[in-house]
Amino acid sequence: MAKVERNLTNLEAAILAEIEHFGPQTAFQVRSSFAASLSLEWKGSAGAVYPAVARLSKDGLILSSEPMGGRKARTLSLTRSGRAILTKWAMDAGAAISVGVDPFRMRASLWAKLPRSEQRLLLLDLERELQRSVAELEACLASVDSVEAVRINLSLHVQLTRLAQVRLWKQQGVV
């Protein structure tokens, strides 16, 4: 029986969401999807994904099929409880609006303490990297389904907002 009352970690929720979105798949396929993520912070290492899959299975939130035809990999699918707890997690508005881990925001206070000459160089680098990221995200939009398009559009909006802030700092001559 699932412990539906427990809270999901973000990694567990991402695993459930991946299975919900793409249907039954192996833990390796889930991990590979995370590894292909555009986010540098969201890679889901094997050392994190496989234990999380084991917890989700133990708690009755995913089913793990028996290997067939000589395959060693088990196919994962959501249980009714898994779908319910994923929906509960997705609808937690308070957690959804958290600014969470934001490497840009975390570094910005340190940038303000840099000498102006280093700030100018950094702002040029940031602008170039943000423009590259925006182009990459825009290119991805052409080849993804509607669920991924929502995620990529949100990332694109964040990067465009960061780019606007960097340009404002450049214009003002200071972070």
What pLDDT does 68 receive?
A: 66
pLDDT at 83: 95
Mean pLDDT of all residues in 128-138: 95
| pLDDT, tens digit (0-9, with 9 covering 90-100), for 14-38 | 999 999 999 999 999 999 988 887 7
* Residue 23 three-state SS: coil
Q: What is the CATH number of domain 10-96?
A: 1.10.10.10
Q: How far apart are CA 4 and CA 6, in angstroms?
A: 6
Where in the chain are the domains? Answer: 10-96, 103-172
- 28 contacts 77 by C-beta, under 8 angstroms: no
Res 3: pLDDT: 46
pLDDT of residue 45: 76
pLDDT of residue 60: 96
CA distance 74 to 41: 27
- Distance CA(42)–CA(115), nearest Å, equals 32
- Mean pLDDT, the chain, integer: 88
The helix-helix angle for 146-172 and 116-141 (nearest 10°) equals 160
Tokens of 85: 């707890």
134 falls in which pLDDT band (50, 70, 90)? very high
Element (H, E) at 65: none
Q: Is the dihedral of CA 23, 27, 30, 32 positive or negative?
A: negative
pTM of the model: 0.74
Q: Exposed e or buried b for every residue in 35-67, given b needs 16+ CB within 10 A?
A: eeeeeeeeebeeeebeebbebbbebbbbbbeee
Q: For residue range 82-109, list pLDDT tens digits in order.
A: 999 999 999 888 888 777 778 888 899 8
Least confident range from 20-34, 43-57, 61-75, 155-169: namely: 61-75
